Amino acid sequence: MKNAIISVSDKTDIELMALFLLENGFNIYTTGGTYKYLMEKIDMKYHKNIIDIPYLTKFPEILNGRVKTLHPKIYGGILADLDNLEHIKDINDKKLIIFSVVIINLYPFVVRNCIENIDIGGVSLIRAGSKNYKYISVLTEIIQYKLFINNYKLIKEDRNMKENFNLSLARKGFKLTSKYDNLIFEYLNNL
């Protein structure tokens, strides 16, 4: 079974992307608001494949949602180098789930500048997935959903195509986190 993480603030078209993944044999691990949204929008026959992240981590969201995804069971499954035998041993010993798709959009700090809108887990997921682009597709923009869907067959069958496709997504992921961090810096600098 293939695995994806979805955690989005802007839920535009996310049910279409989620349905595509489910129809292509993915389990989807997701967080509070996104989990509830998908459970309402997606046909019940797929509900067993939409999994609330605390089920995986065996740890609830805490601090009013400030901590949701920051857990080794998540990051081990994103950062694992699948060509590294030591990583494979860790995966097996720790019973980690390997992720191949990470779909994130960040809290809208640019819209409402406040401390509570500084996304930590989302930025970390983007950075981790982008670092491991060899294995992970990181989607950070709604327009990337159709791009992924349209190229899925090619990236599934051709490792070089997948790596190049994922590298382009990783570049956008790091560009996004860089801009996001700069917005936060400017906000804090003006306090």
**pLDDT score of 58:** 80
pLDDT, tens digit, 9 for 90 and up, residues 4-38: 999 998 999 999 999 999 999 999 999 888 999 99
**pLDDT score of 112:** 65
Query: How many angstroms from the chain centroid is the CA of residue 1?
Result: 17
**pLDDT score of 99:** 97
Taking the model in full, what pTM does it have?
A: 0.90
Is the separation of the CB atoms in 169 and 132 below 8 Å? no
Q: Which parts of the chain fold into alpha helices (H)?
A: 14-23, 32-41, 53-57, 72-79, 85-94, 121-131, 143-157, 159-189
Q: pLDDT above 90 covers what percent of the chain? A: 64
Half-sphere exposure in the Cβ direction for 119 (13 Å, CA): 28
**pLDDT score of 113:** 64
pLDDT, tens digit, 9 for 90 and up, residues 40-79: 999 889 999 999 988 887 877 767 666 777 788 899 999 9
pLDDT, tens digit, 9 for 90 and up, residues 77-108: 999 999 999 999 999 999 999 999 999 988 77
Tell me the C-alpha distance between 123 and 114, whole Å: 16
Domains in the chain (CATH in brackets) are 2-189 (3.40.50.1380)
- The residue behind tokens 């490792």 is 159
- Sign for the CA dihedral angle at 160, 20, 81, 134 comes to positive
